[in-house]
Chains A and B, each alone.
Chain A
Amino acid sequence: MDWTRILSDGVRSGLGMNAAVYALAAIGLNLQYGYTGLWNFGQAGFLLVGGYGTAIAVHSWGFALGWAVLVGVGAAIALGLVLGLPTLRLRADYLAIVTISAAEILRIVVNSTSVQSVTGGPQGIGRFANAFYDNNPIPRGRYGVGDITFTHRDLWVMTVTWALVGLASAMVFLLVHSPWGRVVRAIREDEDAVRALGKNVFAYKMQSLVIGGALGGVAGIMLVIDRQFVEPNNFPSAITFFAYAALILGGTARILGPILGAMAFWFLIEGTQSFLTQAVSNNFLGVDNVLTRTQVGPIRFAIVGLLIMLLVIFRPQGFLGSRTEVMIGD
């Protein structure tokens, strides 16, 4: 077994685009779920409208990429308003049902051949982010230490995305440490109590949903810029659940929770992939009697799932959360 390789495969993934994109998506969920108590189970839909909004604005409308990014963010904000208006006055579970359905509906609609002229249908849209790579200030080459290296192209998109992660975290930090944040945290605890104190609970929930959704939109934009390609399969519901897994792993209602969680999540996913692939080809502990190479992909998710379950059982607050805050009831 080449343990260095397993470790560097994990670390590369924990620093890479997947981790950065999921960190952004999870920061949005952290504001919505962690701080405000809103169950947005359709974060994948916010990534989708962000990604598609940007790609379509460049491809069909001929927008410059900078303006197209604003279209993507605007689309995510609009989605938040549309989903929030009918549901945020109702009980919390309605938002969960509506958001998860909306994300699936959107994915099916953009896949439809009836809108193929705009969305590209199943073929998707490609090469809309050339302007981003044309402005790459990093000289051509590979950068990194040991096995953990990135091309100038990857490093550029990673740097921008992690910078956005930093900005988003700073914004959420300022928000939740303000009187505004006090109101949303109180809504998470008991919204009737907040109403009784004269706060417009609906407006606060809407603001939190829209900001968190916009961060999801930004995550989607960076995801499709990285791939230079947007297609319906980029946005399965699994995105939402992986982002939640990352958030819970890192610790909800903690500023660094979603970042650490996303890094750890992708470290584990790629680390187990690397470990299992090697184990199968080296017959490590007789693994290849029970596992074939093609089964490695799905099995690693089962293993990571098991690890997360163990974590939730033995450390429900995640890496960074506060145990008393999680355990306290009323």
Chain B
Amino acid sequence: MTDGIDVTTVDSRPGAPKPDAVLVVDGVARRFGGLSAVLVEHLEIQRHSITALIGPNGAGKTTLFNVLTGFDRADEGRWSFDGTDLRGWPAYRIARRGMVRTFQLTKALAGMTVLDNMLLGAAGQTGERLRDATLRFRWKAEERAIGKRAAALLDEFGLADRRHDLAGTMSGGQRKLLEMARALMVDPQLVMLDEPMAGVNPALVETLLEHVRRVRATGRTVVFVEHDMDVVMSISDWVVCLAEGSVIAEGAPDQITSNERVIDAYLGRHHGAPA
């Protein structure tokens, strides 16, 4: 089930070291005025795993996402991705380095076609450089290759028949699918999904989950923020619980459901007494 990764042998205290961490966070703090939105002392994300980030509203999950991906600045601390210190890097360089995120409110580019959304994702395109843009012969072959990759992904995500439609004409769930597929066009090592199931028609949730599993199966790492505990339990290899900006617990899904601190901070308040 975990694709050959055994994170279950890792002990489950906050900040536990992982056998093969792709992302290591150290002392990252983000304050808004006097409020510490994020204060993560230590966190490691296991390579080739699906890690869920849970926590009550305002726990700092999205802020942590923003800081780690360069969309917000950290007041303190450092984090490294696959051995590279990313502190102070702009968002676009972090994405190019292989850590690509999606957004809680989908950012499908509404006025562009589904296919153009996908083609945009491909990294390092010759034709995206101003000096080559008007010289079609320089990027024609590359464009065709990217187009093939996009077509294959759209097929996989069940969006092939919509490729010439404007992204703005699609449903919320389809936009989530498109955003995930578009992120894969960048060919990232780590995909960070901010509430991939939010606002998605329940019928589509299982499809989305299947895609998340498939992302891991292609050798990538997935970190996602999610509220729905059923979703978290069904696909995560590892769960990290944040409250008031800090990691209060982490562990395998079944360990997390029985963790006192998690129940106090999160589950208890929303789900009543868990089994």
Residues of A in contact with B (beta carbons under 8 Å apart): 171, 174-175, 178-183, 185-186, 188-190, 192-201, 207, 324-325, 328-330
B residues in contact with A207, CB < 8 Å = 130
Smallest CB-CB separation from A180: which chain B residue?
B133
Known contacts A174-B134, A174-B136, A180-B128; is-contact A194 B120 (Cβ 8 Å): yes
- Pair B69/A196 contact, Cβ less than 8 Å: yes
Is B166 part of the binding interface, using a Cβ–Cβ cutoff of 8 Å?
A: yes
A residues in contact with B134, CB < 8 Å = 171, 174-175, 178
- Pair B107/A178 contact, Cβ less than 8 Å: no
* Contact of A197 (CB < 8 Å), options: B90, B93, B186: B186
Known contacts A179-B119, A180-B129; is-contact A196 B95 (Cβ 8 Å): yes
Q: List 11 A-B contacts (CB under 8 A).
A: A175-B133, A178-B133, A180-B129, A180-B133, A186-B109, A186-B116, A195-B91, A198-B92, A198-B96, A200-B92, A328-B111
* Contact of A328 (CB < 8 Å), options: B107, B120, B133, B169: B169
Residues of B in contact with A (beta carbons under 8 Å apart): 69, 71, 90-93, 95-96, 100-103, 107-112, 116-117, 119-121, 123, 125-130, 133-134, 136, 139, 143, 166, 168-169, 182-183, 185-186
- Pair A186/B110 contact, Cβ less than 8 Å: no
- Pair B101/A189 contact, Cβ less than 8 Å: no
B residues in contact with A183, CB < 8 Å = 120, 128
Smallest CB-CB separation from B107: which chain A residue?
A193
- What distance in Å separates the Cβ of B107 from its nearest Cβ neighbour in chain A? 4
- Pair A330/B96 contact, Cβ less than 8 Å: no
B residues in contact with A328, CB < 8 Å = 110-111, 166, 168-169
* Total A-B pairs, Cβ < 8 A: 110
A residues in contact with B133, CB < 8 Å = 174-175, 178-181
Cα distance A192–B112 in the bound complex, in angstroms: 15
- Pair B127/A189 contact, Cβ less than 8 Å: no
- Pair A199/B182 contact, Cβ less than 8 Å: no
- Pair B71/A182 contact, Cβ less than 8 Å: no
- What distance in Å separates the Cβ of B29 from its nearest Cβ neighbour in chain A? 23
A residues in contact with B136, CB < 8 Å = 174, 178
Cα distance A183–B103 in the bound complex, in angstroms: 19
Cα distance A182–B146 in the bound complex, in angstroms: 14
Other than A197-B121, A197-B186, A198-B95, give 20 A-B pairs with Cβ distance below 8 A.
A171-B134, A175-B133, A178-B127, A178-B128, A178-B133, A179-B128, A179-B143, A182-B120, A189-B110, A189-B112, A195-B71, A196-B69, A196-B71, A196-B183, A197-B100, A198-B96, A198-B100, A198-B186, A329-B110, A330-B108
